[in-house]
Structure 1
Amino acid sequence: MTTRESNTPRGTSQGVIFVHSAPAAICPHVEWAISGVIGDRVSLSWTAQPASPGQLRAEVSWKGEPGTAGRIASALRAWPMLRFEITEHGNAVSDGERVCHLPGRGIWRTAVSANGDVVLGEDQIRSLMERATSLDGLRHALSCAIGADVDAELEPYRRAGEGTPVTWLHQVG
């Protein structure tokens, strides 16, 4: 079999960065970290986070190369007290993904479909079924795989941000 490298560009992607809670002192560092990935100065509009008094929240839409969500999450994980969620919509050449970080739990990452549903691969499902010792065990494993516990923890923070205006960031380069 012969393979040939494609000259097709990787395309562009877009998504949203939700910083659900951050201490005020960390906010400039969050902006610098995102700026480093995006390649342009980022200034977020921070507001109080009602779900966590004393914390701030911000959200911003972004456009860039596929994989940008993962790179932003890697940059933001330097501050373990942050609670954030980054979405990346799929396109013709790459799948979408959602990356979440919760204090004390670290990063949770999954592939997502065009409508935002979690996508589990065939091998992942097989592995969960093989390791499960009971039906309840399988239910629990599937619940964890689709991020039900992550969603449950983030939901109060998401609701607190409803109605907040969104700004767009464009990756330079």
Structure 2
Amino acid sequence: MGKANLETNQEAILMIGAYTRGVLFVHSAPRALCPHIEWAAAEVLGSRVHLDWTEQPAARGMMRAETSWVGPAGTGASLASALRGWANLRYEVTEEASVGTDGGRWSHTPDLGIFHAQTDVHGNVVVPEDRIRAALVYAADPDRMRRELDLALGQAWDDELEPFRYAGAGAPVRWLHRVG
């Protein structure tokens, strides 16, 4: 399929309204896990997935890859769930907001597990009102209030993943489509 056809198909899929797009960032994975990640992503997306794996400079012996996807709303959650719990795997999945659906970001590290945040149309993390109220309970203890807000924003995941994100800056991104 030529590039023009691919772009036309992306636009057609997104015009349906129930579809969205996002990116799967595999920040670090053992080499032996790479084909399993592709198989898991293919199962979710409903089509063959081949990622362009490169060495991860931030973690010796680890690989990194990223790819964009187009699919029904909820595909980001399905991708994150398919990869959850695998040893020595660091990844993020983003899903853009679409008509009637909030966006999301899922971050996973071996030490912290998985974190999910709702995102707005610009990709900003949206903290629900009840989480803010829960943090304000600790207004008399600014350090505790800060810890609560950091937890709501996923700061620990950002801190752990940032060296891996930086090491992957400038990597190419390819678009994949979920079939069905």
> Could you state the TM-score of these two structures normalised by the residue count of structure 2?
0.87
2:93 to 86, 105, 116: 86
Alpha-carbon offset, residue 130 of structure 1: 2.8
Deviation readout 1:122-142 (Å, 9 max, x if unpaired): 122112223666121111110
Alpha-carbon offset, residue 10 of structure 1: 6.0
Equivalent residue number for residue 36 of structure 1: 43
- Pair 1:112 & 2:137 matched: no
Q: Secondary structure at the match of 2:137?
A: helix
2:56 to 43, 49, 59: 49
1:21–1:49 contact (8 Å) kept in structure 2: yes
Structure 1 residues 74 and 134: CA distance shift in structure 2, 3 A: same
Alpha-carbon offset, residue 93 of structure 1: 1.3
Equivalent residue number for residue 66 of structure 1: 73
- Pair 1:155 & 2:162 matched: yes
The root-mean-square deviation of aligned C-alpha atoms, in Å, is 1.4
Taking the aligned partners of 2:119 and 2:96, their CA distance within structure 1 comes to 8
Where in structure 2 are the equivalents of 1:137-152 lying within 5 Å?
137-152=144-159
> What is the number of residues matched between the two proteins?
165
Equivalent residue number for residue 3 of structure 1: none
Tell me which protein shows more helix as a share of its residues.
2
2:17–2:99 contact (8 Å) kept in structure 1: no
Equivalent residue number for residue 137 of structure 2: 130
2:67–2:176 contact (8 Å) kept in structure 1: yes
Q: Secondary structure at the match of 1:19?
A: strand
> Could you state the TM-score of these two structures normalised by the residue count of structure 1?
0.91
Q: Secondary structure at the match of 2:70?
A: strand
Equivalent residue number for residue 97 of structure 1: 104
Taking the aligned partners of 2:112 and 2:87, their CA distance within structure 1 comes to 9
Alpha-carbon offset, residue 145 of structure 1: 1.0
Moved runs in structure 1, 4+ residues, more than 3 A?
Answer: none
Give the unaligned 5+ runs of structure 1: 1-8
Alpha-carbon offset, residue 150 of structure 1: 1.1
